[in-house]
Amino acid sequence: MGPVMWLLVGLGNPGPRYAANRHNIGFMAVDRIARRHGFGAWRAVAADGTLVDERVIAFKPTTFMNESGRAVEGLMRWLKLDTANVIVFHDDLDLAPGKLRTKRGGGNGGHNGLRSLDAHIGPDYRRVRLGIGHPGDKDLVLGHVLSDFGADECGWLESLLDTIAEAAPLLVSPDEHAFANKVAVLGAPASPATQPSSKPDADHA
């Protein structure tokens, strides 16, 4: 197998206590990609696989969120990877639950994981922003991100993770917008013209 071309980083906090937290949706996303595309078994915090014949490492830092950059910097150095080939999945308070946006560079929006990455590897990595919604009061933010997804959120969460996994090969496309565009198409409700008719069949009317 050739050299590693891409590093997919999920942001989250390690350990079972945090596993189902909203803050750990980045971990959930890279888990789902690795499973869908037959990556090798997770060896500690990394899984090795391919997307469109390009070698990819999925990575979940065991450092806590606010030290993510240190772990990513060390792995990048070992893999001899440039920041341009690092794609980071993280929770985003400013997006509605289930929404996804991508961008390269920009501010950290107060996100401790992104702040740490910016400090260690610079801001020019790609980000996949995964909406978890805002609790409506800044004093409630910490409790919101560090609490588990509710039962009423499982539907959109599973749909989003499955859509991310299905579209994942486009993460390595030269077109950096291709992945987000595919997610938008896959996640869109069917148009009226393509939805099954609600009228009863003539044979069963």
90 tagged catalytic: no
Domain covering 6-204, topology: Rossmann fold (3.40.50)
Distance in angstroms (rounded) separating the CA atoms of residues 197 and 174: 39
| Residue 110: per-residue pLDDT | 83
Distance in angstroms (rounded) separating the CA atoms of residues 5 and 66: 26
Question: Of 37, 9, 42, nearest to 25 (Cα)?
Answer: 9
Q: What is the mean pLDDT of each run of 10 residues along the chain (205 residues)?
A: 86 94 96 96 90 95 91 93 95 93 88 93 95 92 92 93 96 92 82 44 35
Question: Phi and psi for 138 in degrees, rounded to 5?
Answer: -60, -25
Q: Which pair of tokens denotes residue 97?
A: 């639950």
The one catalytic residue among 23, 37, 90, 111: 23
CB proximity list for 93: less than 8 A, separation 6 or greater: 109, 132, 133, 134, 141, 144, 145
| Residue 189: per-residue pLDDT | 62
- pLDDT tens for 97-112 read 999 999 998 888 889 8
Distance in angstroms (rounded) separating the CA atoms of residues 185 and 167: 10
- pLDDT tens for 188-204 read 665 454 444 444 333 33
